[in-house]
Structure 1
Amino acid sequence: MAEDRRSQRPARDGARPDSRGGPSARRGAKPESRGGKPESRGGKPDARGGKPDSRGGPRRDGGRSGPDRRQREDWKRPREEQVPRTTDQAEYDGPPLPEEVTGQELDRAVINQLKGMPEKLAARVARHLAAAGMLIDEDPETAYRHTLAARARASRIAIVREAVGEAAYAAGHYAEALSELRAAKRMNGATAYLPMMADCHRALGHPEQSLKLAKSPSVANFAPEAKAEMTLVEAGARRDMGQLDAALRTLELAPLASKSRSSWVVRLRYAYADTLEAAGRESDALAWFHRTNAIDSDQLTDAADRAELLEKRMA
């Protein structure tokens, strides 16, 4: 089942539901507050619970100490005395940011969504999102950790939650991906996430939930590429449920004979050939593996090898 799901999963390259510049963030990590005591000079705590400074006035930081502040203080200590980072602190810090990543690599539409934040905070979030976008294909787990760092600073921004969902999906954290994509959808009402959400349900062993999403009214208005992604997931869910005939009917309604050589056509044809073989229709499967290979100039699939194996078996 896992092999089948990988072969029919929405593509992570050009087939992502959103193409605005890579992943996007999470829980706002509010710094702790510590109530201070009045000093002997008679200073009083301010309304925020801050400790007076040496002049009797309130502390300028309001008594708050966020993860960055705690880390700076920890760095002053000898290495052997430094306290290990907690899980929340490590998530907030995120992986090291490459010096060459500035955040300006993001699409303008993404940068615009961060403009309501303080400048330095927005810049840090943008850098984590840009780093995630650069790494999502070659190192999805690190990309995912970058998006968690962005989410810790900007959890109420849809593009950030979208990025966490996409990176979690790429890294195989399907429950987290589903949760984050749902959050993004609640924030911006976008339906482009539906194919990825449906595939998350498949990965979590809930193919019936995938079918429900596949029947969403908005799917009818999808662009051909996005519609193909949902078809692949729907057919895969039918196979997960042992419904090979239904899976074939689902794929036969797709534009298998399209003259386009786009990756989504390649993947539709491959899924159809694979399902034909699973259904015992080897001659038909062989023909469709050849038709897949004929347009698969980028060798996205192993259609040629599959055709060769079938020919040997049928000889």
Structure 2
Amino acid sequence: MRAELRSLSKPTADAVARYLVAAGEALDSDPRRALEFARAARARAARVAAVREAVGVAAYHAQEWNEALTELRTARRISGDSRNLALLADSERALGRPAQAVRLLSDPAVARLDPESRTELFIVVAGARRDLGQLDAALAVLARGGLDRDRPRPGAMRLWYAYADALEAAGRRDEAAQWFAASAALDPDGDLDAAERAADLL
């Protein structure tokens, strides 16, 4: 981000950096305020990919789905970075367009995503398949993320939780309990309720 801001004058770069830091700090506690800060940065540096990405991420967290799509697509067009495909897909879902979310899994850039970003995309697209009533297809998408309990991939805790949830929805309770338990084993802090979900199914 620092390198991208070098294209601006120093006073402008300093102001934009301050807005971006403020947006980042507010993102979890007050996403609408974070979005205001990110928009202020955009008003000063609309051609900087990192700024457009910051607006897109803040808009996503503030549930401004159309703005999130516009900004994240613009950031991708400027930088060529596709790491936010999962946010794009989830925004499409939120707008009631699950088929559009599913199409993003066919994007050529998916193969170049880092493992965690790819896993997040699998989870979102599986959710879109479920929106469409396609449970078997959802399970198949999640299986692409890796179901080897001996060698968990990055993001496996959340992926296995989603897989277990889909199995339960499909009436496969015993398998669901096993995968909730596998997810819980990767979650020592209890960020998810996988252990409780496993216990409820036993």
**Both proteins in one fold, TM over 0.5:** yes
Q: What does residue 123 of structure 1 align with?
A: 14
Q: 2:34 is aligned with what amino acid? A: A
User: Per-residue displacement from partner, 1:204-247 (whole Å, max 9, x unpaired)?
Assistant: 11111111111112212222111111111111110000000111
Question: Structure 1 residue aligned with 2:29, among 138, 157, 163?
Answer: 138
Instruction: Map residues 228-239 of structure 1 onto 2, 5 A cutoff.
Output: 228-239=119-130
Q: What does residue 283 of structure 1 align with?
A: 174
User: Per-residue displacement from partner, 1:25-78 (whole Å, max 9, x unpaired)?
Assistant: xxxxxxxxxxxxxxxxxxxxxxxxxxxxxxxxxxxxxxxxxxxxxxxxxxxxxx
Aligned with 1:192: secondary structure? Answer: coil
Distance 2:149 2:113 in 1: 17
How many residues matched?
202
Evaluate the alpha carbon distance shift between residue 263 and residue 139 of structure 1 in structure 2; reply closer, same or farther with a 3 A threshold. farther
1:308 offset after TM fit, Å? 2.2
Structure with bigger helix share is 2
Aligned with 1:155: secondary structure? Answer: coil
Aligned with 1:299: secondary structure? Answer: coil
Question: Structure 2 residue aligned with 1:177, among 50, 68, 71?
Answer: 68
Q: TM-score, normalised by structure 1?
A: 0.61
Alpha-carbon contact 1:195-1:214 (below 8 Å) kept? no
Gaps of 5+ in 1: 1-109
Distance 1:160 1:227 in 2: 23
User: Per-residue displacement from partner, 1:147-201 (whole Å, max 9, x unpaired)?
Assistant: 0111111111111101000111112111110010111111112211212111111
Q: What does residue 141 of structure 2 align with?
A: 250
How well do the aligned residues superpose, as a CA RMSD in angstroms? 1.5
Gaps of 5+ in 2: none
Alpha-carbon contact 2:115-2:153 (below 8 Å) kept? no
Instruction: Map residues 41-52 of structure 1 onto 2, 5 A cutoff.
Output: none
Distance 1:125 1:307 in 2: 47
Q: Identity of counterpart residues, as a percentage?
A: 48
Evaluate the alpha carbon distance shift between residue 118 and residue 230 of structure 1 in structure 2; reply closer, same or farther with a 3 A threshold. same
Relative contact order, higher structure (CA 8 A, sep 6+): 1
Aligned with 2:140: secondary structure? Answer: helix
Aligned with 1:255: secondary structure? Answer: coil
Alpha-carbon contact 1:141-1:167 (below 8 Å) kept? yes
Distance 2:63 2:198 in 1: 30
Distance 2:154 2:189 in 1: 9
Instruction: Map residues 37-186 of structure 1 onto 2, 5 A cutoff.
Output: 110-186=1-77
Q: TM-score, normalised by structure 2?
A: 0.94
